[in-house]
Structure 1
């Protein structure tokens, strides 16, 4: 009996190891191939965007054309691709058992994003890149005829690779893809293929000649800086709330205007002209000059975070197309730079880096990805202080996010437990719709149960 039992145990161990090897080989193939496909697609998008910005920025007062450009963008998107895009759309689809991404929307969204940003619209390139990556990954999964659970994994790989390709942060990209779907939960069963996809996608973009910004920041061990990191985390948590609310208010303002969508684009373009002409054109477009100024330790205007936030809200609210993560990290860097000025520091770079990561953690609910991103871009010296600020900002921001499709798996604080199982966007309007919460909550709860079942089976 003992011999039989021993043989049965050996047989079971053999099959277990065999299945593990097959699993690793299978997801290595899917992760690598997805990374190659996404890297090629995103690199083409980034090259087109960089060329358009370089050409259009040579035009005298280029942002004066924003009303016409945003009129055209709103009309074109409404006509050919009315479905919402960007990272929030990907998150929404990944919370649906049979959701699909439309490949036909990609050319229109790419063109609209390039035109919006090149003309001076305040938006980022990571949202469209993540959408491109996830959509290409979805098409690849469809070609391979994968089951729904595996299809969602491949789409997550595309999301991670898109993020990694934009910022040149493969590890942060992988963690972002598995952390951004839920508040309070990380899908570890998707981490390995997501990391492979992010790493390969980043390498493909590097070979294609995509430039990436990085700046090693030296930090001497400093107990005083720990205390400052705590206060900076609180500040960034509050500014992340301001950022989220401002963007939402701008969207609501334009939604309530009794005008055609294309005309709303013209109104928003006029507002952006006022900001660019009377305040500064630094707050328009990608805003990378403002980011580099903050990070390199040069003083920025104390109200820079306010104007960049407002310009982003107007751009996305009136119909402009683009991402939101780049504005988030620019606002965070400006906030950190301001904090450094207030405490009288001569090394503003450290505070700008901490602020950049902390605002990302608070506004997007991805503290781990934010810390890793800071480490990949600016070196390991910033990790302890960035981690403190990111976790505090994450808690301070509450159940808010620039991505309303995120689902709250575990509440940030005990007093907010009633929000668990709800999309973040629903929590934001809970007071107005408290009488009928069941539909959204049941849909979210159903998916959570399915996700847990899938992880146990695998």
Structure 2
């Protein structure tokens, strides 16, 4: 036998996997980069024509960006500063609500939602509509950023590519995230930050989608290269300087900055969604809402111009607003003034909320940079008077402020630190940026600008199926069955007449039979009792005559998954919990199908919330919508005629392993239900078999499920009634079948597993 295994490139290196992701990632990167070029070109043309030529305003541009197409500056027209954004909003609103309503708002949130809740699917026309609506919104003065549109464009192509190539859901989600990272990495010339952002922005907590990092890295690098080949390789902001961190005492003012930024981010999120809610509840045409948002944006900008007599910097409350940041980096705040800085920060919160909250199409990253940068510069200026002995620069506080504000608002501290460094080319401020981002992020845990973010992988449909399977395989029967549930054991020598008296008032359906040494020798069920009662002559004198030696049991150390399989295979809802490790089998209790479902939900709740929280039924509507009523409808449950006698009912009970019996007539009209537990005492009185009618002892169910009820409505009925089984009828009240919580839960769990598609 050779000591050394022959060397094989195929065995040692996975060229197939590497080649696959290099190819797919590169395709997504190329398209995302070209999409960013098209976006930036169209935005430059519209902005030059609408704002520079028509309105007559010309904001300062970031040093690393140049408009290749320029129009001659017009004469400032205060009326057009209000009307042009309104017209842009009207056109953008028409495009969005006519052709792709999902393109409304900030696109990053929609991409996050598609990853978590839409199996990575984005409609192919949404990125196209998003591109056009966004360049019109931003080009005519709407306040917003470029990352939202370009993220949705890149994510949309990633989703489209995976769908066309018939790749599985997991790969489609990866390519969606890779496209999102590629778009951001290209438009901001920040490839590392783009890849990290795609993995980090999906969750509101510290969790990161590590599986998308490498695909996103490949796509981001390619997209950055394609975009920069056309628009240049410079950082977006130039002349930033090389100020760094050299004094530990600087952490004191930076801590104060972090506190202010966290509060400002809180205000931004609340104002943003407050205004969005107002527009959403406004009973007017959706087409008009973005126009009103544009009108308010232009009106506020005009009011601030008239108030400050400044058109050079205050105008950055409109559009992207990066010009004022470039001025801070290049010349400090001397020509701006702290008053204008604070007005721009406050105004940007409002104009962004007006623009996007009304249904306009833009992102929130760009405005966050402006708000954080101007606030940071203002804080740095004030800190020079509070701590005169510590050398400080307003530009460094602006850079750190950009990072800290967005880290708090978007819950993306890692990628934001890298993003700001790549935007400015200043890597000397990594340490204070880390300090401020960490503090602001930790302070701002309860809210986020991206509402589609989820707390962790357990909340994402991309992973929930994995957890569902894990829970069923890892939760033990000992954790599921109710140890306090009262149950009785029947001695093998007990006479049949005594058995009837003992079980008359017990809701137990399966009964263990024990000998004199307390050892289990068999079981019998309620069905066996009713069969014996129906016999022409009693043959069972004692429990030993009645019992079966085949015992449906489960060990407490087995999983609830195995218990459920035994129940389904034998069409029963109860198992004996038996410790059979020793020679003598100790009966510990009874496990029901309800116990299994409640144990699953307790475990899921512990994983989600760190504690048990009542969650008795499946609650994810996006999964429930995929469950058809026919998948959970049980049609094999025996029914009984409403004119039948108690004796007829007993014959049905004997043939059934269930404890519920729908009452119908010959035309299948539904009248009520009979539950076995409700008639136990009566069923042992043979003299009543021909006297008592079914219609006299039936009861109305706590609720009826209609065939047309959506599954979330079905859930509500189970929740309100606390029932374990409910009948299903059509609109004419004809009986169709039954739905049980256990069958519904089983289908729900399978759907979760399918969602993961691992």
Q: TM-score, normalised by structure 1?
A: 0.85
Q: Is contact 2:117–2:622 with CA below 8 Å preserved after alignment?
A: no
Q: Structure 1: how far apart are the matches of 2:128 and 2:38?
A: 12
Q: Is contact 1:284–1:311 with CA below 8 Å preserved after alignment?
A: yes
- Asked if 1:100 corresponds to 2:100, the answer is no
Q: Which residue of 2 aligns with 1:276?
A: 301
Q: Is contact 1:410–1:420 with CA below 8 Å preserved after alignment?
A: no
In structure 2, do the counterparts of structure 1 residues 13 and 92 end up closer, same or farther at CA, with 3 Å as the change threshold? farther
Tell which structure's C-alpha radius of gyration is larger.
2
In structure 2, do the counterparts of structure 1 residues 381 and 446 end up closer, same or farther at CA, with 3 Å as the change threshold? farther
In structure 2, do the counterparts of structure 1 residues 438 and 384 end up closer, same or farther at CA, with 3 Å as the change threshold? same
- Asked if 1:42 corresponds to 2:36, the answer is yes
Q: Structure 2: how far apart are the matches of 1:440 and 1:224?
A: 52
In structure 2, do the counterparts of structure 1 residues 68 and 28 end up closer, same or farther at CA, with 3 Å as the change threshold? closer
For residue 310 of structure 1, report the CA deviation from its aligned partner. Answer: 0.6
- Asked if 1:182 corresponds to 2:176, the answer is no
Question: Mind listing any 5+ residue stretches in structure 1 that lack a counterpart?
Answer: 412-416, 423-433
Q: Which residue of 1 aligns with 2:101?
A: 82
- Asked if 1:151 corresponds to 2:172, the answer is yes
In structure 2, do the counterparts of structure 1 residues 114 and 127 end up closer, same or farther at CA, with 3 Å as the change threshold? same
Q: Structure 2: how far apart are the matches of 1:87 and 1:420?
A: 27
Question: Mind listing any 5+ residue stretches in structure 2 that lack a counterpart?
Answer: 56-76, 306-314, 385-390, 459-603, 610-614, 625-747
- Asked if 1:320 corresponds to 2:360, the answer is yes
Which string of whole-angstrom CA distances, capped at 9 and with x for unpartnered residues, describes residues 167-211 of structure 1? 110000000001111122112222122111111101100112257
Q: Which residue of 2 aligns with 1:431?
A: none
Q: Structure 1: how far apart are the matches of 2:606 and 2:269?
A: 18
- Asked if 1:364 corresponds to 2:410, the answer is yes
Q: Whose strand proportion is higher, 1 or 2?
A: 2
Q: Equivalent of 2:247, from 222, 225, 231?
A: 222
Q: Is contact 2:93–2:291 with CA below 8 Å preserved after alignment?
A: no
For residue 295 of structure 1, report the CA deviation from its aligned partner. Answer: 3.5
Q: Which residue of 1 aligns with 2:326?
A: 292
Higher RCO (CA < 8 A, seq sep 6+): 1
Q: Structure 1: how far apart are the matches of 2:275 and 2:146?
A: 20
Q: Which residue of 1 aligns with 2:17?
A: 23
Q: Is contact 1:234–1:392 with CA below 8 Å preserved after alignment?
A: yes
In structure 2, do the counterparts of structure 1 residues 47 and 384 end up closer, same or farther at CA, with 3 Å as the change threshold? same
Which string of whole-angstrom CA distances, capped at 9 and with x for unpartnered residues, describes residues 261-304 of structure 1? 23333432332232111114220111121232344422442232
Q: Which residue of 2 aligns with 1:340?
A: 380
SS at match of 2:620: helix
Q: Is contact 2:241–2:329 with CA below 8 Å preserved after alignment?
A: no
Q: Which residue of 1 aligns with 2:147?
A: 126
Q: Which residue of 2 aligns with 1:406?
A: 453
For residue 437 of structure 1, report the CA deviation from its aligned partner. Answer: 9.7
Q: Structure 1: how far apart are the matches of 2:23 and 2:327?
A: 41
For residue 346 of structure 1, report the CA deviation from its aligned partner. Answer: 5.6
Q: Is contact 1:179–1:366 with CA below 8 Å preserved after alignment?
A: yes
In structure 2, do the counterparts of structure 1 residues 102 and 90 end up closer, same or farther at CA, with 3 Å as the change threshold? same
For residue 73 of structure 1, report the CA deviation from its aligned partner. Answer: 2.2
In structure 2, do the counterparts of structure 1 residues 339 and 29 end up closer, same or farther at CA, with 3 Å as the change threshold? same
Q: Structure 1: how far apart are the matches of 2:400 and 2:393?
A: 12
Q: Is contact 1:157–1:193 with CA below 8 Å preserved after alignment?
A: yes
Q: Which residue of 1 aligns with 2:81?
A: 63
Q: Structure 1: how far apart are the matches of 2:259 and 2:25?
A: 38
- Asked if 1:166 corresponds to 2:179, the answer is no
Aligned length: 431
Q: Which residue of 2 aligns with 1:427?
A: none
Which string of whole-angstrom CA distances, capped at 9 and with x for unpartnered residues, describes residues 58-108 of structure 1? 213342222233223223321111124511111111113634111222332
Q: Is contact 1:295–1:333 with CA below 8 Å preserved after alignment?
A: no
Q: Structure 1: how far apart are the matches of 2:167 and 2:457?
A: 30
Q: Structure 1: how far apart are the matches of 2:219 and 2:432?
A: 29
Q: Is contact 1:421–1:441 with CA below 8 Å preserved after alignment?
A: no
Q: TM-score, normalised by structure 2?
A: 0.53
Q: Is contact 2:26–2:222 with CA below 8 Å preserved after alignment?
A: yes
In structure 2, do the counterparts of structure 1 residues 436 and 124 end up closer, same or farther at CA, with 3 Å as the change threshold? farther
In structure 2, do the counterparts of structure 1 residues 15 and 128 end up closer, same or farther at CA, with 3 Å as the change threshold? same
SS at match of 1:59: helix
Q: Which residue of 2 aligns with 1:205?
A: 227
Q: Equivalent of 2:371, from 305, 312, 331?
A: 331
Q: Structure 2: how far apart are the matches of 1:50 and 1:450?
A: 47
In structure 2, do the counterparts of structure 1 residues 158 and 222 end up closer, same or farther at CA, with 3 Å as the change threshold? same
- Asked if 1:395 corresponds to 2:413, the answer is no
For residue 342 of structure 1, report the CA deviation from its aligned partner. Answer: 1.4
Q: Is contact 2:316–2:344 with CA below 8 Å preserved after alignment?
A: no
In structure 2, do the counterparts of structure 1 residues 436 and 117 end up closer, same or farther at CA, with 3 Å as the change threshold? farther
Q: Structure 1: how far apart are the matches of 2:443 and 2:623?
A: 27
Of 107-116 and 157-166, more deviation after overlay is shown by 107-116
In structure 2, do the counterparts of structure 1 residues 450 and 223 end up closer, same or farther at CA, with 3 Å as the change threshold? farther
For residue 11 of structure 1, report the CA deviation from its aligned partner. Answer: 9.1
In structure 2, do the counterparts of structure 1 residues 146 and 249 end up closer, same or farther at CA, with 3 Å as the change threshold? same
For residue 421 of structure 1, report the CA deviation from its aligned partner. Answer: 5.0
Q: Structure 2: how far apart are the matches of 1:324 and 1:446?
A: 37
Q: Whose helix proportion is higher, 1 or 2?
A: 1
Q: Equivalent of 1:194, from 205, 216, 223?
A: 216
* C-alpha RMSD over aligned residues: 3.2
Q: Which residue of 2 aligns with 1:243?
A: 268
Give the alignment of 1:230-269 within 5 angstroms: 230-269=255-294
In structure 2, do the counterparts of structure 1 residues 451 and 50 end up closer, same or farther at CA, with 3 Å as the change threshold? farther
